[in-house]
Amino acid sequence: MAGIAFYALTLISMKLSSKFVLRLGGSILASPINAQLIRKYADIIKVQVSRKNAVGVVVGGGSMAREYIRAATELELADSRKDALAIKVSRINAQLFNDALGGRLGVSLSIRSALKSISQQGFAVMGGLRPGMTTDYVALLLAKSMEADMLLKATDQEGIYDSDPRKNPSAHLIKKLSYKELESVVGTGLHEPGIHSILDPLTVRGLSGTGLKVIVFNGSVPDNLARAISGEAVGTLVTP
């Protein structure tokens, strides 16, 4: 059976205009579920696929996942069980998004199946993969495996700030950052279930050596995605 390397080489051999991964925050699409926003994102991605762009989409669990994590914490369940619950929620959100795209191959449950999906229909949709790993990190793994040009994070903020704008009204939006500068902003904490960070620390550390261009933008405005793909300045740009 063909593996990751086979499908990665298949993507490389295809005449693609661009390859990118979109990490869609559950806080944007599913807290609560926003059908119209899902439709708008799906329409934008369909256009990108028609232009021979390869697209990976990774959808988060949002507030519903954190509700399950809260309940599991009260029940004194292990962190691995909390993560497993959040993964299930993210996959339900991913299924809804995949159906809106008209995806015929279903939600991808591994990087290998995502690469296969992209090679066959131009896109793949994923949720979480396994305990101990955020959907940010899933998006990074997919971007690395498909040798993507960009990793785009649609979140509930305008971009990356010098402090948490939800707590500090004087926080300033940072327009450009290097990987190292991003690490100093995000910190070096460890994974914990339901972590709610603009980009989780494990993902930030994993950027080193990839050369990926990362754009973090306000996901409540879907047109920001099209603008970012076209090269317009949107949100925060992170480069090596």
How many Å apart are CA 214 and CA 155, to the nearest integer?
13
CATH for 187 = 3.40.1160.10
The neighbour count for residue 41, using CB atoms within 10 Å, is 24
**pLDDT at position 12 over 60:** no
How many Å apart are CA 187 and CA 224, to the nearest integer?
27
Structure tokens at 45: 């991605």
**Domain that residue 40 falls in:** 4-239
- Phi first, then psi, for residue 178 (nearest 5°) are -90, 170
Q: What is the pLDDT of residue 50?
A: 94
Residues facing residue 151 across a β-bridge: 21, 214
Using pLDDT thresholds of 50, 70 and 90, give the confidence band for residue 9. low
Q: What is the pLDDT of residue 15?
A: 66
Q: What is the pLDDT of residue 197?
A: 74
The pLDDT tens digits of the residues spanning 37-85 come to 999 999 999 999 999 999 999 999 999 999 999 999 999 999 999 999 9
The neighbour count for residue 157, using CB atoms within 10 Å, is 22
How many Å apart are CA 8 and CA 145, to the nearest integer?
7
Average pLDDT of every residue of the chain: 91
Question: Which residue in 1, 2, 4 sits closest to 110, CA to CA?
Answer: 4
How many Å apart are CA 191 and CA 209, to the nearest integer?
21
Number of domains in the chain: 1
> Which of 131-135, 161-165, 169-173 comes out lowest in average pLDDT?
161-165
The pLDDT tens digits of the residues spanning 78-102 come to 999 999 999 999 999 999 999 999 9
Q: Report angle CA 162, 163, 169 to the nearest 5 degrees.
A: 110
25, 153 Cβ separation under 8 angstroms? yes
Identify which has the larger pLDDT, 32 or 191.
Answer: 32
Spatial CB neighbours of 108, under 8 Å, sequence gap ≥ 6: 114, 116, 117, 124, 125, 126
Can you give the pTM of this predicted structure?
Answer: 0.92
Q: How far is CA 169 from the centre of its chain?
A: 26
What DSSP string runs through 65-130?
A: HHHHHHHHHHTT--HHHHHHHHHHHHHHHHHHHHHHHT-SS--B-SHHHHHHHHHHHSEEEE---S
Q: What is the pLDDT of residue 163?
A: 84
